[in-house]
Each structure stands twice: as C-alpha cells, then as structure tokens.
Chains A and B, each alone.
Chain A
C-alpha cells in the first residue's frame, strides 16, 4: 500500500470529504510527524508505536574502497519502535484485552 492507496481508502470511508480533502489531511498527518521529529520531539501513537530521534556523534570513518579516513559529521536519525498491540498483530498473535 502506498500513500496514494491510503488516501483512496480514506476517501472511500468518508464520502462527505472530497478526494482533495482526504489528500490534504493525510499529508498533514505525516507532515506534522516529520516536523515534530525535526524538533527532536518523540512521537507516541497508542497501539501503533513510537518514533524517536537518536543522536549520532561525529566520528572518523573510512572510505571502504580507498581506505581513506574521512570524518563523518554528527547527525540525527529517526527510529521507530513498534507498539505492543501492533507487534502482536503483525505476528498473528492474539492481543490481550486492554493492551495499550
């Protein structure tokens, strides 16, 4: 499923919204999450999972081809940790009542 399919599915479920509206809202959801992570903020979606931003220190690396030492700048990388409910559902396990 791509974002396009997701928007089409939303449009099917909410016939009172125009296709354009569905597109605007779905894009706004992901934009909001990208912005939050850009601020270094953690995102927690109950029953789904959480996104955190981890910091990587600057380090010296090597160009694997030439063996040259290169400096790798510090950076921030996004991480996703799947929530308990979704972890169980993906694995085909029953989800206990009242999880999250």
Chain B
C-alpha cells in the first residue's frame, strides 16, 4: 500500500473529494514528521506510538580492520504498535 492508495480509499469509500483526501493525507504525515523532528512523541490510539529515543555514543570496532572507533550518539525513531494493531494482525480471518 502506498500513500496514493490510502488517498484513493478515502475519496472512494469515505466520500471526500480527491483534493481534500490528498491534502489531508499529506498534512497528516507532515504534522507527524514535524512533531517527531522536534523530539516529541506521537501517540495514535488504535495504531501505535512513534517515539524518539536518544542513543548514547559508544565504542565500536571496524570489523574489517579491528580499529576501535567511537560511534556517535544519535536520535532514532521507534514505533511501538498498539495492542489493537497487534491483535488485528492475528485475528484469524485474514491469516495467511
């Protein structure tokens, strides 16, 4: 599924104009991205939470040369699926 398919589903099945569907879908992902960029977490009930975690710098090794290197600290995004989403993947009806 792509963004275009999500948009199509909204204007075909939910009955909004193609333009409204496109604009709102684009804005939704933009707003979420903007929030995460600021380090704020985004909680979508029934779907899951997007959380920005901070990784501390650590020592690593170049596996090829064996040189010790410092891996810089960084911020990473993680997604924690909601129980509802996890359950719906295992509800039986559409199991593959």
Q: Which residues on B sit within 8 Å (CB–CB) of A42? A: 1
B88→A38 contact, CB < 8 A = yes
B85→A1 contact, CB < 8 A = no
Q: Does B31 contact A (CB under 8 A)?
A: yes
Q: Which residues on B sit within 8 Å (CB–CB) of A28? A: 9-10, 13-14
A32→B28 contact, CB < 8 A = no
Partner of A78, one of B14, B25, B29, B81: B81
- CB-based nearest B residue for A2: B43
Question: Min CB distance, B66 to chain A, in Å?
Answer: 27
Question: Min CB distance, B37 to chain A, in Å?
Answer: 5
| Chain A, range 53-100, C-beta contacts under 8 Å to B | 53, 75-80, 82, 86-87, 89-92
Chain B contact-residue range equals: 35 or more
Q: In the assembly, what is the distance between CA of A16 and CA of B69, in Å?
A: 55
Q: How many residues of A contact B (CB 8 A)?
A: 49
- Across the A-B interface, how many residue pairs have beta carbons closer than 8 Å? 145
- Residues of B near any A CB (own CB < 8 A): 1-3, 5-6, 9-10, 13-14, 16, 20-21, 23-25, 27-29, 31-33, 35-37, 39-48, 50, 52, 74-79, 81, 84-86, 88-91, 94-96
Can you pick out 30 interface pairs between chain A and chain B where the beta carbons lie within 8 Å of each other? A1-B35, A2-B44, A3-B43, A3-B46, A13-B27, A14-B20, A14-B24, A24-B14, A28-B14, A29-B25, A32-B5, A32-B6, A32-B9, A33-B47, A34-B85, A36-B5, A43-B1, A46-B2, A48-B32, A48-B33, A49-B79, A53-B89, A76-B89, A76-B90, A80-B50, A82-B76, A89-B33, A90-B52, A91-B74, A91-B75
Question: Min CB distance, A43 to chain B, in Å?
Answer: 4
A25→B29 contact, CB < 8 A = no
